[in-house]
């Protein structure tokens, strides 16, 4: 069957090469000398030779590449680096390991400093970007060759495409993990990076301005993504002063019209809020909450998902932080998300709600007033199991922190039936929370003197039968919890 997999590849490979040739030619116009040299060789190739022959002509062998890169012939250097970059840019199985083994990375890093040869700088930056995009070992090979300082310098290159390529490379290095992220921050990556974000930075990259180009992702998108990687990862969190510098820019980026930029900014906020309460506070203090809540209503999954996650993180914080989210309107945004077709969203929304329900009774009251009980009951009844588990937590938290009146309202909204139905699940932890919730309900009923009515209701809804079944449960704690309720309220001997 293997033979099927390579059939038909020829035409795409050919097309890609042809497009590249024309791109190279456009770029070459800037430099008369190069133009002459290349247009001759390429037009020759383009018109008269098949792709296989062409490969032989333009592609140097690996030995030749090493020789050329280490040699002093500028022309050959450029061609060699270009060949390397091309190999590393193909869709499948880029030979990153082989390139590293050639031992030419230090030399590529050196080329980054050749301000007199922007072509060489650009090709080297692209090649190094793609090497750093691999595994941690690959990234380390680039960093240990000393690439961080020259890349940071290149952020301020007069050539915007080189600056952009450096942003991309730095993003890959930052994305490797907290160690390199902080190494970059310590090398002062942030000021020149943020300096790039100004209203004059084009959303699309420079090459795009010269009609069509090789890039589909805009310059500002790249910057946003790199900033988000600088906010990413825990253990340790990114340094506080760095976060404080990036926040205003992220705030600004979140107002952009481009959905990729908004998405990556939202993810940055979700990283920054996935942390301690004092760090959450710094984010809340920027006043970003109303915008994040607005974005929770976006029809774009790529925006709504990280916005929901960021707000969800914030309501894990203090009562005041949660209140700030409520004041920003999170409760109005949640019903739609609790009913979202994607189960992961339902679950995340229910998780957010469970943390609001864990607050003081005033916040619970706001939750009820904003009409969150009906979608909650729906989810408990028909959601997927992971979302149901979160919904159980909402109910449990409500019965723990709510007033008797609030608990009554909860029961009146029809929560009992789906809750009791969930007594059939296998998961012991969920069972215990449900039994705990039932106990809370009985406590409230006792205060109101309606224990008998609740007993009757539980029995009518099949809850008694299901709890009886739990008396044979293999988990002892579940068994005991069920037994206590049975003995206390149902005269079970």
Distance CA 277, CA 384 (A): 31
Q: Which stretch binds other proteins (CB under 8 A): 87-95, 323-331, 436-444, 454-462?
A: 87-95
232 makes contact with other proteins (CB under 8 A): yes
**Residues 6 or more apart whose Cβ sits within 8 Å of residue 140:** 176
Taking the least distance from each CB to other proteins, the nearer of 340 and 446 is 340
Contact yes or no for 96/105 (Cβ under 8 A): no
Taking the least distance from each CB to other proteins, the nearer of 177 and 401 is 177
| Ranges within 55-84 binding other proteins (CB under 8 A) | none
Q: How far is the CB of 78 from other proteins (least distance, A)?
A: 17
139 makes contact with other proteins (CB under 8 A): yes
Identify the residue among 126, 151, 269, 489 touching other proteins (CB under 8 A): 126
Number of residues that bind other proteins (CB under 8 A): 52
Site string for other proteins, 341-380 (x = CB under 8 A): -x--x-----------------------------------
Site string for other proteins, 161-200 (x = CB under 8 A): ----x--x--xx--xx------------------------
Contact yes or no for 256/220 (Cβ under 8 A): yes
Question: How many residues does the structure list for the chain?
Answer: 493
218 makes contact with other proteins (CB under 8 A): no
Taking the least distance from each CB to other proteins, the nearer of 16 and 446 is 16
Identify the residue among 54, 60, 83, 94 touching other proteins (CB under 8 A): 94
Q: How many CB atoms within 10 Å of residue 404?
A: 13
DSSP letter, residue 59:
P
| C-alpha count within 13 angstroms, C-beta hemisphere, residue 325 | 33
DSSP 393-452: HHHHHHHHHS-HHHHHHHHHTT-HHHHHHGGG-S-HHHHHHHHHHHHHHHHHHHHHT-HH
Instruction: Return contacts of 291-295, CB within 8 angstroms, 24+ apart.
Output: 291/251, 291/254, 291/255, 292/254, 292/266, 292/328, 293/325, 293/328, 293/329, 293/330, 293/333, 295/254, 295/262, 295/266
Q: How far is the CB of 300 from other proteins (least distance, A)?
A: 8
Taking the least distance from each CB to other proteins, the nearer of 84 and 364 is 84
Contact yes or no for 354/316 (Cβ under 8 A): no
Identify the residue among 42, 267, 351, 489 touching other proteins (CB under 8 A): 267
Identify the residue among 225, 237, 393, 442 touching other proteins (CB under 8 A): 225
Residue 162, Cβ density class (10 Å: 0-12 exposed, 13-18 middle, ≥19 buried): buried
Distance CA 91, CA 462 (A): 58
Distance CA 445, CA 466 (A): 20
Q: 3-state secondary structure string, 182-251? A: HHHHHCCCHHHHHHHCCCCCCCCCHHHHCCCCCCCCCHHHHHHHHHHHHHCCCCCCCCHHHHHHHHHHHH
Taking the least distance from each CB to other proteins, the nearer of 164 and 390 is 164
Site string for other proteins, 426-465 (x = CB under 8 A): ----------------------------------------
282 makes contact with other proteins (CB under 8 A): no
Taking the least distance from each CB to other proteins, the nearer of 162 and 357 is 162
Distance CA 233, CA 136 (A): 15
Taking the least distance from each CB to other proteins, the nearer of 270 and 397 is 270
134 makes contact with other proteins (CB under 8 A): yes
Q: How far is the CB of 438 from other proteins (least distance, A)?
A: 31
Q: Which stretch binds other proteins (CB under 8 A): 25-33, 86-94, 459-467, 470-478?
A: 86-94
Identify the residue among 82, 129, 273, 352 touching other proteins (CB under 8 A): 129
Residues that bind other proteins (CB under 8 A): 1, 4-5, 7-9, 15-16, 19-20, 23, 86, 88-92, 94, 126, 129-130, 132-134, 139, 165, 168, 171-172, 175-176, 208, 212-216, 225, 228-229, 232, 263-264, 267, 300-302, 304-306, 342, 345
């Amino acid at each position: 069957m293997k033979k099927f997999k390579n059939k038909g590849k020829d035409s795409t490979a050919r097309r890609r090469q042809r497009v590249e040739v024309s791109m190279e030619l456009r770029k070459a116009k800037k430099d008369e000398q190069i133009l002459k040299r290349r247009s001759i060789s390429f037009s020759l190739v383009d018109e008269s030779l098949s792709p296989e022959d062409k490969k032989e002509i333009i592609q140097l062998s690996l030995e030749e590449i090493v020789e050329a890169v280490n040699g002093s012939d500028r022309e050959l250097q450029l061609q060699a680096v270009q060949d390397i970059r091309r190999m590393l840019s193909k869709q499948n199985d880029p030979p990153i390991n082989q390139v590293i083994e050639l031992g030419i990375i230090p030399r590529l890093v050196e080329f980054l400093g050749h301000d007199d040869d922007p072509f060489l700088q650009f090709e080297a930056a692209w090649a190094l970007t793609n090497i750093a995009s691999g595994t941690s070992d690959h990234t380390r090979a680039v960093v240990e060759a000393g690439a961080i300082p020259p890349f940071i310098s290149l952020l301020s290159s007069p050539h915007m495409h080189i600056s952009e390529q450096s942003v991309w490379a730095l993003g890959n290095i930052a994305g490797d993990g907290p160690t390199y992220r902080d190494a970059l921050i310590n090398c002062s990556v942030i000021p020149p990076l943020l300096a790039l974000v100004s209203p004059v930075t084009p959303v699309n990259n420079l090459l795009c301005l010269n009609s069509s180009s090789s890039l589909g992702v805009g310059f500002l998108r790249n910057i946003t993504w790199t900033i988000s990687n600088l906010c990413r990862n825990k253990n340790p969190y990114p340094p506080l002063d760095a976060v404080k510098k990036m926040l205003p820019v992220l705030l600004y980026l979140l107002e952009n019209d481009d959905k990729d930029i908004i998405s990556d900014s939202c993810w940055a906020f979700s990283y920054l809020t996935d942390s301690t309460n004092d760090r959450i506070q710094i984010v809340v203090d920027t006043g970003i909450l109303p915008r994040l809540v607005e974005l929770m209503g976006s029809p774009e999954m790529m925006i709504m998902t990280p916005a929901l996650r960021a707000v969800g993180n914030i309501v894990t914080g203090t009562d005041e932080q949660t209140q700030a989210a409520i004041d920003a309107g999170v409760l109005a945004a949640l019903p739609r998300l609790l009913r979202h077709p994607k189960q992961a969203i339902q679950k995340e929304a229910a998780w957010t709600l469970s943390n609001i329900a864990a607050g003081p009774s005033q916040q619970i009251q706001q939750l009820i007033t904003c009409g969150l009980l009906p979608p909650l009951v729906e989810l408990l009844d028909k959601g997927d199991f992971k979302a149901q588990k979160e919904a159980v937590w909402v109910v449990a938290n409500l019965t723990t922190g709510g007033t008797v009146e609030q608990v009554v309202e909860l029961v009146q909204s029809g929560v009992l039936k789906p809750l009791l139905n969930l007594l059939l699940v296998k998961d012991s932890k969920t069972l215990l929370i449900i039994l705990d919730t039932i106990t809370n309900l009985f406590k409230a009923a006792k205060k109101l003197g309606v224990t008998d009515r609740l007993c009757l209701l539980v029995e009518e809804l099949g809850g008694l039968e299901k709890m009886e079944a739990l008396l044979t449960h293999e988990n002892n704690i579940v068994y005991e919890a069920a037994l206590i309720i049975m003995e206390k309220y149902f005269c079970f001997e």
